Amino acid sequence: MELIDLFEMQKRLDKYIEENNRVERDVFREKLLALTVELAELANETRCFKFWSRKGPSPKPVLIEEYVDSIHFLLSLGILKGMEDLHEWPEGEEAEEAGDLTGLFIQTQREILNFGDRQDRASYKAVWVHYRAIAEALGFTAEDVVTAYREKNEENYARQQRGY
């Protein structure tokens, strides 16, 4: 799946948010923490780890909105590190050992923190590989992801305009 358009849209949104909020410092750490929070929000909506509850997962539109919140921050972190030339969504087998969805969320959190430490291309790609595995586990197609990303990207402008 092509990432060029998403990187372009993210760049524009980030620039708009930075100008609107007069951000002049490096916000890599903030965006890294934001990514881990978004991943946890998604996990929470799947309820995959809630052995103490009988309630099932939230509906697909809720899950995919949480998912593309993560994709926003993942793109944004790549832009901060000059890695927006990652034109294809990376494929790999690293996520196969994670097992179930719970294992996949734990492993993805680990990969995000590892990328935060290393800030290199290999660790960045590994995060993408894990997000791909999450999409597959949740039954999202590439088209689902792109459509939901575009919708949320637009909503993020509207939120800024509302003084969110």
Ligand X SMILES: O=c1ccn([C@H]2C[C@H](O)[C@@H](COP(=O)(O)O)O2)c(=O)[nH]1
Of 56-64, 65-73, 118-126, 135-143, the segment contacting ligand X by CB under 6 A is 65-73
Residue nearer to ligand X on the CB measure, 13 or 48: 13
Question: Which residue from 46, 76, 107, 108 is in contact with ligand X, where contact means CB under 6 A?
Answer: 76
Residue nearer to ligand X on the CB measure, 126 or 148: 148
Nearest one of 157, 149, 123 to 1, comparing CA atoms: 149
Contact 4, 87 (CB under 8 A): yes
Tell me if 69 contacts ligand X by CB under 6 A.
yes
Range 87-146, binding ligand X (CB under 6 A): none
Give every CB contact of residue 39 below 8 A, 6+ residues apart in sequence: 70, 105, 108, 109, 112
71: left (phi over 0), alpha (psi -120 to 50) or beta: alpha
Rounded to a whole number of angstroms, the minimum distance from the CB of residue 86 to ligand X is 17
Tell me if 79 contacts ligand X by CB under 6 A.
no
Rounded to a whole number of angstroms, the minimum distance from the CB of residue 8 to ligand X is 13
Print the binding letters for residues 1-40 with ligand X: x by CB under 6 A, - otherwise.
------------xx--x-----------------------
For the chain, the maximum distance between any two Cα atoms, rounded to a whole number of angstroms, is: 47
Rounded to whole angstroms, the Cα distance separating 128 from 84 reads 13
Q: Among all residues, whose Cβ is closest to ligand X?
A: 72
How far is residue 3 from each of residues 8, 44, 52, 101, 159, measured CA to CA in Å?
9, 27, 39, 24, 24
**Length of the chain, in residues:** 164
Tell me if 72 contacts ligand X by CB under 6 A.
yes
Q: Which stretches of the chain bind ligand X, using CB under 6 A?
A: 13-14, 17, 69, 72-73, 76, 152, 156
